[in-house]
Structure 1
């Protein structure tokens, strides 16, 4: 299938009083039409910065895309003006943010907030936009949409507000939908409903989804491919089955080991010791080396090359070098039947 979105050697920095924070370093990713890609990792790994770079939503005065290209249908988004990006945001690429209460304007009815994008990007009349907004509320599972379209965000529960945010994101039939921690602020039952809704909507609309999350359970339920991010870099990519059942990077092992499993309720969860690297002065070698129990001197001194495990599975780790010692993943990282 043809890639609808490609990130090639993307580097993003923030300029602070303490110095330059190199938040994203040499990221390469692609997204095919209609597929779902999850980007996972700890807080501070660069997931949200990567997604906001695609949308060009980073603050202009304090951040910059220093290098690389972000190709959407062959157009480099980093070269577009703000006015050109405004035509793409919400229309062809949309974003769902993690907190629905702060994503919605409390002074406007939800109907007006859905209609706003429709009238701007699709030139619909007020009545046409209202009818489309009602259909969108119905599509995302909000009962009595003809009445609720006139209500304000505070009159909706957290789960219903997130459904409204999804309706706004889907209003103009975007080709790419970026969901940044879409279920973080919701309880477990509502999380499951929102994930079912997103899976169902993707099947109906064919929209490609980038899911930003630290929750591996969410990944297993929604995504076809996974990119594991650490220290501003991509350390492993592959299909969901490859990353869950045949992980190759020690950081991925650590993430999987820290995931609760149904058959191990009485066991203590594993934790990755140490802290993420300081990106004011990023390490010259593998960013995970300082926390990796298998690190060698070469890991500290040199950034590893990306190794092809299969045609779809790639890992940046010196342990895959033929000269490295043979290391097996810890038992806790073997997902087995946990999915």
Structure 2
């Protein structure tokens, strides 16, 4: 498959009064044309910082200290501010988490959706407004022609998120970044937004990077998954491999934390402990203090990526040939069987089965 985005050895620090926070530590991944890559992890793992660097939207105290971000063989990090502005919202667009803060409360939504077209000079005002109406209809806004004059407060939360998606796709971008776009929505609306994004991907032929902390959402939209922890990717593979053959104990913890209709306990599982202080990252595996399966070497040396299949790699010493054999927790295996049963019964959709590249990361 054609590679459209390639992030290589990205390193990002944040300058604080306490010192340099190493927020992103040698992150590499790529995105293929037409696919959906999900980046998953707890809050603070570095997901949003990673994708904001692609858009040139980092905070003033953030500094990229190493790496490359290649979009169609052009290094975004070497572009001028003007070149990045031309790229942003045109070739690469972003859907943000909270639709209410993403919309201007003083401007009708029709003008807001048309604005990217006018900023990039692609159309005159009349043509831009016509495209805005067309895209609002595409994202499922009923009676879009009349609602173009309405303001954000006149829409429900799910409708506002549809408007934000319309703003992001109005230029038919080649890459669409969705930063936890369903977090503020109830479960029913979440499902509608996920279905909408999958439908739009087919219609406008775009590639998607989907950021989430919810592995349940990933099952319905992703082709491949990258799991992040403490500023690093610790496991990546196809969505089937991550759900049915996870190898990193952190991935086990995320899967075990997912509530299901089959959950009978009053208390949900939570990964014990807290993430490390990235002012002074540990020498070994950052997850080791929270990992009940940690080996002595986990506290001494950072594990490399071990190959599981041509598409599946995990950075855990448990995959070393000399490591003891440890099976995933029983709860994980039960959850995997539950998902198989749900898919077999048609209660949830099957995972995407698109062909993927052999190499996900460098």
Which residue of structure 2 lines up, in the alignment, with residue 78 of structure 1?
77
Which residue of structure 2 lines up, in the alignment, with residue 4 of structure 1?
4
Partners of 2:141 and 2:247 in 1: how far apart? 42
Q: Which runs of 5+ in 1 are unaligned?
A: none
Which residue of structure 1 lines up, in the alignment, with residue 189 of structure 2?
190
Q: How does 1:103-142 map to 2 (within 5 A)?
A: 103-142=102-141
Partners of 1:206 and 1:310 in 2: how far apart? 28
Which residue of structure 2 lines up, in the alignment, with residue 232 of structure 1?
231
Deviations 1:122-160 (A, max 9, x none): 421111011100000000000111110111111111111
Partners of 2:67 and 2:19 in 1: how far apart? 21
Partners of 2:146 and 2:260 in 1: how far apart? 43
Which residue of structure 2 lines up, in the alignment, with residue 313 of structure 1?
312
Deviations 1:65-108 (A, max 9, x none): 11000010011111111111000000000000000000001111
Are the aligned partners of 1:256 and 1:332 in contact in 2 as well (CA < 8 Å)? no
Partners of 2:255 and 2:278 in 1: how far apart? 24
Q: Which runs of 5+ in 2 are unaligned?
A: 343-362
**CA RMSD of superposed structures (Å):** 1.1
Which residue of structure 1 lines up, in the alignment, with residue 351 of structure 2?
none
Which residue of structure 1 lines up, in the alignment, with residue 49 of structure 2?
49
What SS class does the counterpart of residue 221 from structure 1 fall into? helix
What SS class does the counterpart of residue 260 from structure 1 fall into? coil
Which residue of structure 2 lines up, in the alignment, with residue 323 of structure 1?
322
Which residue of structure 2 lines up, in the alignment, with residue 337 of structure 1?
338
Partners of 2:169 and 2:24 in 1: how far apart? 28
Matched, 1:209 2:208: yes
Partners of 1:165 and 1:33 in 2: how far apart? 23
> CA shift at 1:321, angstroms?
0.3
Partners of 1:336 and 1:158 in 2: how far apart? 34
Are the aligned partners of 1:122 and 1:172 in contact in 2 as well (CA < 8 Å)? no
Partners of 1:266 and 1:292 in 2: how far apart? 23
> CA shift at 1:266, angstroms?
4.2
Deviations 1:17-72 (A, max 9, x none): 1110000001011100010011001010000010101111002x311111000010
Matched, 1:199 2:198: yes
> CA shift at 1:261, angstroms?
2.6
Partners of 2:337 and 2:82 in 1: how far apart? 49
Partners of 1:311 and 1:238 in 2: how far apart? 9
What SS class does the counterpart of residue 218 from structure 1 fall into? helix
Are the aligned partners of 1:227 and 1:234 in contact in 2 as well (CA < 8 Å)? yes
Partners of 1:147 and 1:185 in 2: how far apart? 26
Partners of 1:288 and 1:333 in 2: how far apart? 18
Partners of 2:143 and 2:121 in 1: how far apart? 25
Partners of 1:283 and 1:40 in 2: how far apart? 21
> CA shift at 1:268, angstroms?
4.2
Which region of structure 1 is more displaced relative to structure 2, 22-31 or 121-130?
Answer: 121-130
What SS class does the counterpart of residue 23 from structure 1 fall into? strand
Deviations 1:259-287 (A, max 9, x none): 12333334743221100011111111111
Report the number of matched residues: 338
Which residue of structure 2 lines up, in the alignment, with residue 284 of structure 1?
283
Which residue of structure 1 lines up, in the alignment, with residue 22 of structure 2?
22
Partners of 1:289 and 1:79 in 2: how far apart? 36
Are the aligned partners of 1:121 and 1:172 in contact in 2 as well (CA < 8 Å)? no
Are the aligned partners of 1:24 and 1:233 in contact in 2 as well (CA < 8 Å)? yes
TM-score between both structures, scaled by the size of structure 2: 0.92
What SS class does the counterpart of residue 173 from structure 2 fall into? coil
